[in-house]
């Protein structure tokens, strides 16, 4: 298709598309041939590992472990991660995801500029973006900011394509889908979403003189449809996962929380070398936009400059948006995962401001310029740890030198000289702004691989149980532990105390799976001994899984899983059944065996409130409780212990929603004699045992009550059966209360 000129379609030289595509595909080779650190999440980061956890345990995280967590609402990134990690092992999955995001962003950027300014200018700009260290930083970890960048650039490309021949609904609908995907990756883009249709409105007006109001209506209606369709699809998926259609609300609430708080973090936009490195290109694009603004606003040049004006406006408004939130805890310019919002518009400004007249250069001159443009980032990525070009000159010197070169590139009329000056100016900025990596070119990949190996082992032994991590922040492998623990979103699940110290008490330890992470010699034995000392006289014993040894970045460490479980029961339990005596009262009596119907009759249970709905069916006793945080749901008629002993009441049920407390109470307004909690979980727990020591003639009543805390919602469950067992006290091992 011929490239549209500002005044309509024109047959400007395009070059061979195949050659450009191959050249862009080779850019990752330029970046990765000496290192692969940029493709993997560092171990000492926290938030990116949340999404690794969702990618590996999506259903469990959404339904049971972390329902309602804000990171779980970013489904536009989580679902592709889950799909790729389901098909590939962790290291190939990370490569596929991150290179895929990079490719979507760079190719979308290239085609946008190719349709606007031509293939040669688009290719040089794509080389700048495709080798930019901070673009690799954003797309090479597991945080969703890189995916959002790819979606924003794809949105721009689709709007540009739609503007070539208006009105084509499909590209506009797809642009709405891509824009919604960006929002559902990182909701911060919601504040910038009104900027997206400006691309279509400006281009379709420049190329086809379409009225602005009409173009705006087309963009809003068709793109809005695409956004609604994607949101509805993600909502349906989320409803299937955790029962909530409005999946994006936790992200919205988290955003409100950050934006409404005054600044607490002290990080700013300056470092020891001046401006933070990830902001240099953005500042350059803003200054270029301001310098060229008067000429672009001239009446005789306004239509021709309209595409560049649109991208400059998007860049300036994005900067204003980030500056506004710089005053809040969101700190728009202080962190790359927010400041990267500038990146798409920064490079679009560069692509539409430089490289004028490049289509008229000879093939030989053009190839020479391409070689130089590729050689500069190639040298810098070869020097990935600053081994050769170490140290930075004063920020003022760099700014003056880059500014002079770029201003000269804008003013010089000879296309070849202007291109060389621009490449020189961007080379200076790249040296100043590059992200310096570790001296070891593969240390991040090895750390990622080791963490995922440890996580795989943990998954084999965890069997759906929530974990509590036990570690020492002075351990040399502490930063490796951060990645592993963050993949379980476990900021609140660390045990108090440094390994092997442990806060004792059966209430704190019973039923918990403790994961000890330590590089200390003999760590598994230290963990078992510390937990054993805590469980003296509790009736609990230590259960330990086989420890696993993992190579960390500095030392080998062990992953040891221990838990506190009831001591082995060596007693003989006698089943009891419920019968009626001569007076019609219900009593417990020994049962001859399972055929003698030891379960309590389900039709004996009664509700205490008309608001509690009880229905007996073949599945069991279906109950929906009243909306009371602690209201009694159902009770069984008063029973008496036929003889002294230890009694077990085994409740078997299916809990659909809410929380319960099950047990036996003294009749009337008496308190609980013994009780246990039950809560919805994944995988579901469908049996709870309550143990109590009773004397002959002790009277009690079995009850099931709501236990929803401050939440006044109802609880829904099906009671399948209740079994009663008794054993003599002298034959019992100690049982913890």
Tens of pLDDT, residues 444-478: 999 999 899 889 888 887 777 778 898 888 899 98
Q: Other C-beta atoms within 10 Å of 497: how many?
A: 13
Digit-coded pLDDT (tens) for 268-278: 788 777 888 89
| 542 and 582 belong to one structural domain | no
Q: Give the end of a domain, one of 544, 566, 588.
A: 566
Please state the rounded mean pLDDT for residues 564-585: 77
Tokens at 330, concatenated: 């969101």
Rounded to an integer, what distance in angstroms lies between the CA atom of residue 33 and that of residue 40?
15
Alpha carbon of 534 to those of 499, 509, 527, 543, 734: distances in Å? Answer: 14, 9, 11, 13, 16
Q: Give the end of a domain, one of 534, 549, 566.
A: 566
| 596 and 553 belong to one structural domain | no
Per-residue model confidence (pLDDT) at position 389: 64
Rounded to an integer, what distance in angstroms lies between the CA atom of residue 530 and that of residue 535?
9
Rounded to an integer, what distance in angstroms lies between the CA atom of residue 18 and that of residue 382?
27
The band of 668, judged by pLDDT with boundaries at 50, 70 and 90, is confident
Q: How would you write 129-168 as a 3-class SS string?
A: HHCCHHHHHHHCCCCCHHHHHHHHHHHHHHHHHHHHCCCC
Rounded to an integer, what distance in angstroms lies between the CA atom of residue 258 and that of residue 268?
16
| 263 and 119 belong to one structural domain | yes
Phi, psi (degrees; rounded to nearest 5) at 552 = -90, -170
Of 684 and 157, the one with more pLDDT: 157
| 544 and 588 belong to one structural domain | no
Per-residue model confidence (pLDDT) at position 256: 77
Whether 109 and 347 have beta carbons less than 8 Å apart is answered as: yes
| 588 and 558 belong to one structural domain | no
Least Cα distance to 198 among 302, 121, 295, 311 occurs for 311
Tally of structural domains, the chain: 3
Tokens at 51, concatenated: 């999404």
CATH number of the CATH domain containing 584: 2.60.120.260
Please state the rounded mean pLDDT for residues 19-27: 95
Please state the rounded mean pLDDT for residues 398-416: 94
pLDDT > 70? residue 582: no
Please state the rounded mean pLDDT for residues 2-31: 70
Whether 71 and 51 have beta carbons less than 8 Å apart is answered as: yes
Of 481-490, 513-522, 567-576, 619-628, the one with minimum mean pLDDT is 567-576
For residue 212, tell me if it sits in a domain.
yes
Length of the chain: 737
pLDDT > 90? residue 185: yes
For residue 441, tell me if it sits in a domain.
no
Digit-coded pLDDT (tens) for 555-571: 899 999 888 887 777 77
Digit-coded pLDDT (tens) for 28-74: 999 999 899 999 999 888 899 999 999 999 988 888 778 888 899 99
Digit-coded pLDDT (tens) for 222-262: 999 999 999 999 999 999 998 889 998 888 888 777 766 66
Phi, psi (degrees; rounded to nearest 5) at 566 = -60, 145
For residue 3, tell me if it sits in a domain.
no
For residue 382, tell me if it sits in a domain.
yes
| 557 and 579 belong to one structural domain | no
| 386 and 527 belong to one structural domain | no
| 378 and 474 belong to one structural domain | no
| 415 and 546 belong to one structural domain | no
Work out the angle at residue 39's Cα, subtended by the Cα atoms of residues 35 and 40, and round it to the nearest 5 degrees: 110
Digit-coded pLDDT (tens) for 676-705: 888 776 667 788 889 899 998 899 999 998
Alpha carbon of 286 to those of 195, 318, 350: distances in Å? Answer: 16, 10, 10
- What is the three-class DSSP state of 724? strand
For residue 129, tell me if it sits in a domain.
yes
Whether 649 and 663 have beta carbons less than 8 Å apart is answered as: yes
Rounded to an integer, what distance in angstroms lies between the CA atom of residue 375 and that of residue 423?
10
| 267 and 383 belong to one structural domain | yes
Q: How would you write 347-372 as a 3-class SS string?
A: HHHHHHHCCCCHHHCCHHHHHHHHHH
Sequence-distant (≥ 6) Cβ neighbours of residue 228 within 8 angstroms: 176, 180
Rounded to an integer, what distance in angstroms lies between the CA atom of residue 285 and that of residue 267?
23
pLDDT > 70? residue 5: no
Of 22 and 628, the one with more pLDDT: 22
Rounded to an integer, what distance in angstroms lies between the CA atom of residue 637 and that of residue 660?
19
CATH number of the CATH domain containing 545: 3.30.110
Q: With the C-alpha atoms ordered 97, 98, 104, 107, is the resulting torsion angle positive or negative?
A: negative
Where in the sequence is the domain holding 302, given as residue range(s)? 33-433
How large is the angle between the packed helices 415-433 and 119-130, nearest 10 degrees? Answer: 10
For residue 80, tell me if it sits in a domain.
yes
Please state the rounded mean pLDDT for residues 507-529: 84
Phi, psi (degrees; rounded to nearest 5) at 605 = -75, 145
For residue 685, tell me if it sits in a domain.
yes
Distance of CA 729 to the CA centre of its chain: 52
| 173 and 251 belong to one structural domain | yes
Average pLDDT value for the chain: 86
Rounded to an integer, what distance in angstroms lies between the CA atom of residue 123 and that of residue 17?
10
For residue 376, tell me if it sits in a domain.
yes
| 57 and 171 belong to one structural domain | yes
The band of 214, judged by pLDDT with boundaries at 50, 70 and 90, is very high
Tokens at 328, concatenated: 């809040």
Per-residue model confidence (pLDDT) at position 498: 79
Rounded to an integer, what distance in angstroms lies between the CA atom of residue 296 and that of residue 290?
10
């Amino acid at each position: 298709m011929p490239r549209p000129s500002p005044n309509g379609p024109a047959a400007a030289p395009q070059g061979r598309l195949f050659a450009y595509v191959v050249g862009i595909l080779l850019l990752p080779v330029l970046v990765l041939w000496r290192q692969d650190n940029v493709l993997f999440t560092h171990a000492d980061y926290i938030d990116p590992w949340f999404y690794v956890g969702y990618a590996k345990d999506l259903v469990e995280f959404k339904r049971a472990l972390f329902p309602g967590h804000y990171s779980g609402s970013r489904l536009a990134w989580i679902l592709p991660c889950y799909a790729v990690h389901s098909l590939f092992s962790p290291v190939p999955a990370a490569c596929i995801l991150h290179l895929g995001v990079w490719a979507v962003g760079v190719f979308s950027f290239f085609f946008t500029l190719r349709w606007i300014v031509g293939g040669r200018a688009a290719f040089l700009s794509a080389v700048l973006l495709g080798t930019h260290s901070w673009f690799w930083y954003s797309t090479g970890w597991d945080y969703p900011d890189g995916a959002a960048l790819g979606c924003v650039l794809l949105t721009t490309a689709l709007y540009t394509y739609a503007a070539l021949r208006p009105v084509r609904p499909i590209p506009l609908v797809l642009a709405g889908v891509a824009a919604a995907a960006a929002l559902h990756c990182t909701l911060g883009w919601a504040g910038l979403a009104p900027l997206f249709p400006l691309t279509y409105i400006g281009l379709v007006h420049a190329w086809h003189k379409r009225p602005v109001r009409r173009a705006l209506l087309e963009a809003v209606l068709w793109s809005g449809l695409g956004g609604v369709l994607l949101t509805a699809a993600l909502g349906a998926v989320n409803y299937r996962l955790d029962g909530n259609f409005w999946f994006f609300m936790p992200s919205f609430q988290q955003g409100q929380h950050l934006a409404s708080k005054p600044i607490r973090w002290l990080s700013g936009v300056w470092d020891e070398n001046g401006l933070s490195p990830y902001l240099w290109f953005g500042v350059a694009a803003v200054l270029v936009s301001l310098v060229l603004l008067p000429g672009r606003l001239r009446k005789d040049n306004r239509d021709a400059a309209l595409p560049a004006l649109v991208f400059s406006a998007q860049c300036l408004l994005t900067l204003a948006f980030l500056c506004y939130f710089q005053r809040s805890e969101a700190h728009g310019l202080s962190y790359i995962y927010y400041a990267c919002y500038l990146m798409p518009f920064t490079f679009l400004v560069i692509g539409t401001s430089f490289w004028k007249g490049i289509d008229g250069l000879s093939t030989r001159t053009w190839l020479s310029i391409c070689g130089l443009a590729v050689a500069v980032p190639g040298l810098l990525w070869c020097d990935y740890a600053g081994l050769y070009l170490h140290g930075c000159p004063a920020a003022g010197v760099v700014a003056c030198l880059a500014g002079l070169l770029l201003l000269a590139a804008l003013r010089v009329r000879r296309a070849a000289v202007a291109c060389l000056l621009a490449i020189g100016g961007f080379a200076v900025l790249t040296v100043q702004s590059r992200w310096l990596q570790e001296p070891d070119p593969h240390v991040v990949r090895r750390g990622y691989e080791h963490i995922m190996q440890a996580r795989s082992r943990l998954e084999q032994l965890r069997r759906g149980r929530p974990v509590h991590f036990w570690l020492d922040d002075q351990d040399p492998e502490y930063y490796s532990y951060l990645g592993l623990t963050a993949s379980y979103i476990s900021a609140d699940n660390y045990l108090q105390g440094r390994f092997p110290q442990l806060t004792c008490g059966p209430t704190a330890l019973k039923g918990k799976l403790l994961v000890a992470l330590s590089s200390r010699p003999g760590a598994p034995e230290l963990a078992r001994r510390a937990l054993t000392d805590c469980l003296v006289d509790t009736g609990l014993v230590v259960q330990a899984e086989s420890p696993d040894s993992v190579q960390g970045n500095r030392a080998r460490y062990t992953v040891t899983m221990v838990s506190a479980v009831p001591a082995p029961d060596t007693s003989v339990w006698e089943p009891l059944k419920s019968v009626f005596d001569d007076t019609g009262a219900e009593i417990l009596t020994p049962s001859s065996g399972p055929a003698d119907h030891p379960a309590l009759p389900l039709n004996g249970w009664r509700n205490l409130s008309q608001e509690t709905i009880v229905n007996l069916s073949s599945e069991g006793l279906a109950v929906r409780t009243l909306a009371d945080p602690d209201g009694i749901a159902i009770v069984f008629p008063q029973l008496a212990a036929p003889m002294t002993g230890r009694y077990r009441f085994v409740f078997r049920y299916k809990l659909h929603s809410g929380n319960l407390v099950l047990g036996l109470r003294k009749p009337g307004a008496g308190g609980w004699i013994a009780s246990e909690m039950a809560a919805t979980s994944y995988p579901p727990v469908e049996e709870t045992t309550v143990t109590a020591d009773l004397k002959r003639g002790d009277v009690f009543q079995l009850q099931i009550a709501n236990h929803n805390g401050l939440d006044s919602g109802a609880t829904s469950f099906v009671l399948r059966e209740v079994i009663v067992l008794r054993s003599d006290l002298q034959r019992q091992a100690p049982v913890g209360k």
